[in-house]
Amino acid sequence: MAELPSNTPSIPPLHTLQTTPERTRTGQDGLLGLPPEIRDQIYELTAAKDRNTITMLSNHDCHKSEISASQPALSRVNHQLRAEALPTFYNTNLFLAEVSNREDLATAKRWLQAIGDLNVGCLRRVALCGWAKVPFGHMVTQRWVKVFLDLKEGTMEVEPHREGAEQHPHVAKAVDELKTDFREVVEARQGLECAYFDVESVASLMDAFHWMCMVC
């Protein structure tokens, strides 16, 4: 039998061809193999939106600048990426809910139920908006109201009225009452073992805003 040339590479043993390094088999040489601080930066780049995030749309034409609140694709890769990416998604973006009518309120509350207490607890900025009914002589007209809630800081701000006009007195009074309700919820949460907001507490704020729109 002819001998192989001396420069022919030797064939590695079979058992070395069948053995895959543990790091490769578990996927640790990919995204999850990066340091946590690098992964956090990636999550911020992929989960943070450059525009408001909206949870529901009663009339899409009124919200052309808004985008879907669907969870980022990265969170659907595996359990670990989901657990790491979703807190950034919910903590970074502004989530808006138009809740002046019953249908939109129900949609918003279903969204809260769908994402669950864990993700609701990661929410930081929530905007509630809608049309508030106000008296106009013997008739009833409407005023657009929008408030911004910071669930981490426990603060509430009201969007200035268009063209710098003052709020209707009925709306101003109702907004003050809403601020009181929000402050009471914040104080109540501070007395609990888990101070984060949950589905029930955020839903109660949506109910309060909806009621404000109905009875102004």
pLDDT for residue 170 is more than 60: yes
Q: Decide if 145 is inside a domain.
A: yes
- Please report the pLDDT score of residue 196 as a whole number: 81
For residues 99 and 128, is the Cβ–Cβ distance under 8 A? yes
DSSP the chain: -PPPPTTSPPPPPHHHHH---HHHHTTTTSGGGS-HHHHHHHHHHHH--SS-EES--S-GGGGTT-EE-PPPGGGGS-HHHHHHHHHHHHHHSEEEEE-SSHHHHHHHHHHHHHHHHHHHTT--EEEEEEEEEEEETTEEEEEEEEEEEETTTTEEEEPPPGGGPPPPHHHHHHHHHHHHHHHHHHHHHHTSSS-S--HHHHHHHHHHHHHHHHH-
- Please report the pLDDT score of residue 61 as a whole number: 47
Domain count, the chain: 1
Q: Decide if 6 is inside a domain.
A: no
74 or 127: which leads in pLDDT = 127
- Residue 182 corresponds to which tokens in the numbers above? 């929000």
For residues 197 and 121, is the Cβ–Cβ distance under 8 A? yes
Average model confidence (pLDDT) across the chain: 79
Q: Which domain holds residue 187?
A: 32-215
Q: Decide if 81 is inside a domain.
A: yes
Q: Which CA distances in Å does 11 have to 3, 8, 14, 16?
A: 15, 9, 9, 10
Q: Decide if 15 is inside a domain.
A: no
Q: Decide if 16 is inside a domain.
A: no
The percentage of the chain sitting over the pLDDT mark of 70, rounded to a whole number, equals 74
- Please report the pLDDT score of residue 55 as a whole number: 67
Q: Who's near 87: CB < 8 A, 6+ residues apart?
A: 119, 122
Q: Scan for tokens 């009621």, then name that residue.
A: 211
Half-sphere exposure of 205 (CA within 13 A, CB side): 28
Q: Who's near 194: CB < 8 A, 6+ residues apart?
A: 121
Q: In the structure, what pLDDT confidence band is assigned to residue 189 with cuts at 50, 70 and 90?
A: confident
Q: Which of 168, 142, 146 is nearest to 158 (CA)?
A: 146
Q: Decide if 70 is inside a domain.
A: yes
pLDDT for residue 151 is more than 90: yes
188 or 60: which leads in pLDDT = 188
- Please report the pLDDT score of residue 77 as a whole number: 86
Q: Decide if 109 is inside a domain.
A: yes
- Residue 210 corresponds to which tokens in the numbers above? 């909806």
For residues 158 and 146, is the Cβ–Cβ distance under 8 A? yes
